[in-house]
Amino acid sequence: MTTTGSGSRFLPGTYTQKRHDAEQRAHQYVVEWEQRETQKRRTSQEPSILQPTICFSRKIGVGALEIADILAQKTGQRVADRLILDKIATDAELGQKTVSFFDERHPGKMSELGALLFGEKAFIMSDYLRKLFSAVMTLADTESTIFVGRGTHLILPRDRVLAVRLISSRAYRIRRVSDILGVSEDDARKELDAADKEQRRFFQKAFGKKDAPPSEFDLIINCDFLHQPEWAVDVIHQAFLNKFHQG
């Protein structure tokens, strides 16, 4: 399994059904919005209104991606997880395309976003964050998407987002990671400690935040009690329909 920068073998966004297509999906998503933008220009269409989006924030190891995949089958939305977002943000060609698209469509918005997230504090957005924020906004601008991880609920317009926080006890996460990696619970605990540390470091650097307060979310689900992914999917799907008056 891929090693993260924190030294953990557990890569958030991984579960029993292994996924190896992040690079392929990243390229596919970028090609799709390029084609749609070209079509809009040919037909002189006005920019579309941002489609309703679902953003998952999660404690590492609770199974957010598994829930997102099942939900996507029900709603027809696509899934953009951390692996896909990071691929776009770190790929020179894809990253630059999203930045150019976003700056053209929303001139000056990147500075506004930085000010919104960080207030009056001095802040210089790194190249990675600029590409990450542009990728999130670009994907959301072209198709209704389920985002998993990377603080996407903090990037997108709040009135177009169903923000969902998935949590569980530490014991639940340890058991799940132990099963996924096929290691002892002691080893799984170490993997989670490393992954949690990396997640905290990212949120501190990207958003200047140390935690995820309940007030940020529409819905908080405790996977200790809604431990079957389908149960969580039913709750989230109904909340999505209710918030955006669909169905």
What pLDDT, on a 0 to 100 scale, did the predictor assign at position 137?
86
What pLDDT, on a 0 to 100 scale, did the predictor assign at position 89?
85
What pLDDT, on a 0 to 100 scale, did the predictor assign at position 164?
98
What pLDDT, on a 0 to 100 scale, did the predictor assign at position 184?
95
| pTM, two decimal places | 0.80
Q: Which range has the worst mean pLDDT, 36-40, 175-179, 191-195, 200-204?
A: 36-40
Q: Which range has the worst mean pLDDT, 98-107, 205-214, 228-237?
A: 98-107
What pLDDT, on a 0 to 100 scale, did the predictor assign at position 143?
84
Q: What is the DSSP letter of 211?
A: -
What pLDDT, on a 0 to 100 scale, did the predictor assign at position 105?
66
Domain ranges of the chain: 50-241
- Residue 106 or residue 189, greater confidence: 189
Q: Return the bridge partners of 219, or none.
A: 164
CA angle 84, 172, 72 (to 5 degrees): 35
- Confidence band for 9, pLDDT divided at 50, 70 and 90: low
CATH number of 50-241: 3.40.50.300
Tokens in use for 69?
């995949």
**Does an H or E element contain 222, and which?**
strand 219-222
Contacts of residue 48, defined as CB under 8 A and 6 or more positions apart, other chains included, come to: 141
What pLDDT, on a 0 to 100 scale, did the predictor assign at position 116?
62
Q: Which of 167, 7, 21, 134 is nearest to 83 (CA)?
A: 21
Quick one: 113 exposed, middle or buried, by C-beta within 10 A (0-12, 13-18, 19+)? buried
What pLDDT, on a 0 to 100 scale, did the predictor assign at position 21?
76
Q: Which of 24-33, 114-123, 146-155 has the highest mean pLDDT?
A: 146-155
Q: What is the mean pLDDT of the chain?
A: 82
- Residue 30 or residue 44, greater confidence: 30
pLDDT for residue 61 is more than 50? yes
What pLDDT, on a 0 to 100 scale, did the predictor assign at position 69?
95
pLDDT for residue 48 is more than 80? no
What pLDDT, on a 0 to 100 scale, did the predictor assign at position 47?
56
What's the whole-number mean pLDDT along residues 13-19? 48
Encode pLDDT of 68-120 as tens digits: 999 999 999 999 998 888 888 888 777 777 777 666 666 666 666 666 666 65
